[in-house]
Structure 1
Amino acid sequence: MALLLAISGLTGSLILGELGFWTALFGAGFALLFEPVAAWRLTLRLYRARPIYPDQAPLLWQMVYGLAQRAELPATPVLYYLPSAVINAFAVGNRKHSAIALTDGLLSQLTQRELAGVLGHEISHIANGDLKVMGLADYISRLTNLFSGVGQILIMLSLPLLLTEGYSVNINPLAILLLVFSPHLALLTQLGLSRVREFDADLKSASLTGDPMGLASALAKIERAQRSWLSVLLPGWGNPEPSWLRSHPATEARIERLTRYARAQHAELWPHETGIPLELLGRHCTTPPRWRIGGLWH
């Protein structure tokens, strides 16, 4: 976060001087203190998510409640159902008001043990404050993009003045390089921060569930299901290499860490394939995901 602020502040200072640096600093503070309360509800609405009530999936709610208690959350996250065949889950909100969205593909294809690992991972994001941290990082990156864009426009506008007799423009080449590449530097820093938070959430999930290999098995199954045919023809497609271009660590690295943790804790290494009863919402998703370049989308 300090590096992100430094990049944004330095980029802003090239345009506005000291005011640009303080704009970046106070902007980050404002985003940290005054996050929009309704933002996560809008996100769920855009995904056409609908709530899962306790009487519809009592076992699912029992798992979430138990994990939230272990994570010492002040409130249990609300569960939402996404009518998508893609295997995915994500958390929104903050420690006091949060929700976890689960796709139909996730609920229908993961076992009870694997589902507990995924829920533990999402609850760990909430407990660790990752949603606020990554939201702040995204805001700083966007502010850096704004500074960079304005700076490049001002430079382009000043170039015709070089043709004016007796007029010179003093432009530092290093400043130009920073204005051009600062958004990319901020993005790489943001991606690195995201990978670290994913590893931390994996570790906390293993601690909450006491079953590291449940999450490891879920990660392996999700990786197999989401791999498109292009990844077979073109290795690395949709899964950028090198690793510093990824928002999530490589699945192999995550599974390896979870396996080492399981051995250290003398936990069971091979999950039992016990299913979870999902008389969920009376109907399942029948619309297949649509193909897009890089994978499947719903």
Structure 2
Amino acid sequence: MERLTLFNLRQRSRSVEPQTQTILDQLETEQKVRKAYYEKLSQWKDKALQLFKVHHINYLTRKLVNLPTSFESLDSSQPWLAYWMVHSLRLLNFTIPDETKQQLVHFLASTQHPDGGFGGGPYQFAHLAPTYGAVNCLVLLCRADALQIIDRVKLADWLRRLRQPDGSLLMHIGGESDVRGAYCAVAVAKLTGLLDKHPDLFKGTAEWVARCQTYEGGYGAQPGIEAHGGYTFCAAAALCLLGRADFINIPRLLHWVAHRQMASEGGFQVNFIVAGYGPMSNS
């Protein structure tokens, strides 16, 4: 009898999938992964999974105060980098020194745009993605002075300018609109207390996000676009934060999510091995 592993859980459903080139490439890649996996399985079975916390902490604390030049390509994602590192250290139960926290507060304050929101770096235009990263980082620092740097009045005005007549939100003034914008904006408003104070900020947003759910059950970037794992997270989270989880067709969503789990990698990204996908924050 064949062993039941994550590699053969989905094989029965493979027979009903259309044999597109992408699926054929996926199957070929899975076969290579399975071969390598089983070759190493006997070496792994008696070893517990280990997380090298000290190595991770050392890496993160070094990068938190001094990024090397190899990170230049992420110049417009600086608040994101701060958030990812601070969040990782928090998960590793590492206490960031107060001096470093103060430096982070000062740095994030320098990325705040004079008209509201945060940019990807000092003197850059405001954008919802780095605004999300900056606000989350400031919250994680657990300092009163960190939250005080956020200009909530200008932030609310900026969010109003981003909202479109159909309820969607632009990622930045003159930029694109998709469910990333809705999620980032709603999350930031929730964290800063603006969601309860200014319910008009998101007039029509829940209805617009609900229209992004496809016949498959997942959510696309906009109404009428195919479902995608990253956008599905953004859409479902935004609706829950807005108190409109009742807009979600949960049976269809669960069906879609369950069928996105790939046989080899065990993750939920559509065709991740053969297609790949950059982080939401950098898209």
TM interval, short-chain normalised: under 0.3
Q: TM-score, normalised by structure 1?
A: 0.27
Greater per-residue strand proportion: 1
Larger radius of gyration: 1
Structure with more contact order per residue of length (Cα contacts < 8 Å, sep ≥ 6): 1
Q: TM-score, normalised by structure 2?
A: 0.28
